[in-house]
Amino acid sequence: MPFLGVLYIVLVVITCFLYGSKNGRSRYTFFKVMTSLCFVGIACYSAILGGLPELFFFLLPGFWFAVAGDYLLGIAHTREDYKGKEFIAGAVMFMLAHVAFYVALSTIQDVSPLDFVLPAVFSSVMFFVLQHKPFVLGKMLIPGLVYTFFVALLLSKGAMLVIFEGHGVRNLLILAGGLLFLISDGVLLFMYFHITPKKNLGALNLGTYYSAMALLGLCIYPFQ
């Protein structure tokens, strides 16, 4: 695990660097996917150490949806096309990843109406925020709100696990992962849908995202 962790950090740093490098943009998608495969590796290694628990197999589709999303968004960034079919398809893959993660975590704690309170409130607030400057979503507003709902759903499930199932390491990792995921996607608003796009936030977006994925992979590890 230490070697895998060091490799992951190195790949994240390289990916962050290539994101902001015009000269290295042609290699960005490759390293982004390699980094993504590394968090799949973290999940697999954690599962092996834990005796391949059922949770791993439920989480695995979510990880692969995320890998697909990373590939598609990598292409979109290389082409500097943030409203094209690759970008939209990548967003869909990530939404499916969030759905898959929620379904997987619902095997730990059953689906509850309380799970949907935070996403509903958060999406409602964002509906009013995103209709005004400095954000310009246009036709992406409704799809963006649907995506926001599912991102907040992962965080909500993490919170419900901590509140009702205890403060164990696994539950705290899931909660932290959900929070980092929300922060990462919040940064995207400023990068792609702000009146003056803040492209220099790429490292923050990628750093929080890959941290979130690592924590979700580590939640499978058999912590005592």
The upper half-sphere exposure of residue 151, i.e. CA atoms within 13 Å in the direction of its Cβ, equals 25
The set of long-range contacts for 51-55, using a CB threshold of 8 Å and a minimum separation of 24, is 51/222, 53/220, 53/222, 54/107, 55/104, 55/107, 55/108, 55/219, 55/220
Would residue 30 count as lying in a domain?
yes
Q: Given its phi and psi angles, is residue 72 left (phi above 0), alpha (psi -120 to 50 degrees) or beta?
A: alpha
The predicted pLDDT at position 160 comes to: 97
* Reported confidence tier of residue 192, pLDDT bands at 50, 70, 90: confident
Would residue 189 count as lying in a domain?
yes
CA distances from 149 to 32, 42, 74, 102, 132 (A): 25, 27, 24, 12, 19
Would residue 223 count as lying in a domain?
no
Would residue 12 count as lying in a domain?
yes
What pTM was estimated for this model as a whole?
Answer: 0.94
Q: What residue numbers bound the domain in which 44 lies?
A: 2-218
* Reported confidence tier of residue 65, pLDDT bands at 50, 70, 90: very high
Q: Give the mean model confidence (pLDDT) for residues 50-57.
A: 92
Helix (H) or strand (E) holding 214: helix 202-218
Would residue 224 count as lying in a domain?
no
71 or 26, which is more confident = 71
70-123, pLDDT tens digit by residue? 999 999 999 988 888 999 999 999 999 999 999 999 999 999 999 999 999 999
Q: How many domains does the chain have?
A: 1
Question: Rounded to an integer, what distance in angstroms lies between the CA atom of residue 114 and that of residue 157?
Answer: 9
Question: Rounded to an integer, what distance in angstroms lies between the CA atom of residue 98 and that of residue 104?
Answer: 10
Would residue 172 count as lying in a domain?
yes
160-175, pLDDT tens digit by residue? 999 999 999 999 999 9
* Reported confidence tier of residue 58, pLDDT bands at 50, 70, 90: very high
Mean residue pLDDT across the chain: 92
Give yes or no for residue 141 having a pLDDT over 90: no
Would residue 73 count as lying in a domain?
yes
1 or 145, which is more confident = 145
The predicted pLDDT at position 224 comes to: 65
38 or 2, which is more confident = 38
Structure tokens at 47: 């599962």
Would residue 130 count as lying in a domain?
yes
* Reported confidence tier of residue 132, pLDDT bands at 50, 70, 90: confident
* Reported confidence tier of residue 136, pLDDT bands at 50, 70, 90: confident
